[in-house]
């Protein structure tokens, strides 16, 4: 058995708005095609976050999103060059602070945020010098 890759699939209440948030907050790039059902709901779209991919889809009866479930136990961890810049972009795009960006004694500067769709994001950059 060989695992060839892995990516998160984020289920959200409004995929079109979530895609816009991820593009604005993280500079994500949408990779066509966007797959939708007959009602126009997104069933799959791939976004590129730098070298990494994330899929996004609208919630439905089989796949509820965090807002329908009362939250998410999963935290997406982003390693970034500037935790402050990413945090500012998330807040401008509509994210909220869980833990503000700060220096930590384990050698990172970072914080935790929630996007408007209930997904949690930990942002961290290494402290140097």
pLDDT confidence of residue 129:
55
**What integer pLDDT is reported at residue 128 of this predicted model?**
84
Residue 95 located in a structural domain:
yes
- Give dist(CA 108, CA 122) in Å, integer: 11
Residue-level pLDDT at 37: 96
Digitized pLDDT (tens) for each residue of the chain, 129 residues in all: 999 999 999 999 999 999 999 999 999 999 999 999 999 999 999 999 989 999 999 999 999 999 999 999 999 999 999 999 999 999 999 999 999 999 999 999 999 999 999 999 999 999 985
Specify whether 18 is located in the same domain as 47.
yes
* 51 shares its domain with 80: no
Residues 47 and 11 in one domain: yes
Q: Does one domain contain both 49 and 79?
A: no
pLDDT of residue 77: 95
Do 56 and 82 belong to one domain? no
Shared domain for 57 and 27, answered yes or no, is: yes
Q: Scan for tokens 């069933």, then name that residue.
A: 43
């Amino acid at each position: 058995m060989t695992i060839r890759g892995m990516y998160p699939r984020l289920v959200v209440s409004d995929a079109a708005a979530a895609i816009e948030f991820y593009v604005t907050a993280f500079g994500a790039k949408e990779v066509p095609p966007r797959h939708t059902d007959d009602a126009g709901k997104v069933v799959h779209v791939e976004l590129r976050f730098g070298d990494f991919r994330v899929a996004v889809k609208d919630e439905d009866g089989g796949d509820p999103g965090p807002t329908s479930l009362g939250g998410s136990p999963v935290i997406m961890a982003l390693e970034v060059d500037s935790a402050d810049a990413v945090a500012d972009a998330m807040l401008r795009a509509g994210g909220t602070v869980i833990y503000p960006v700060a220096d930590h004694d384990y050698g990172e500067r970072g914080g935790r945020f929630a996007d408007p769709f209930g997904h949690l994001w930990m942002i961290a950059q290494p402290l140097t010098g």
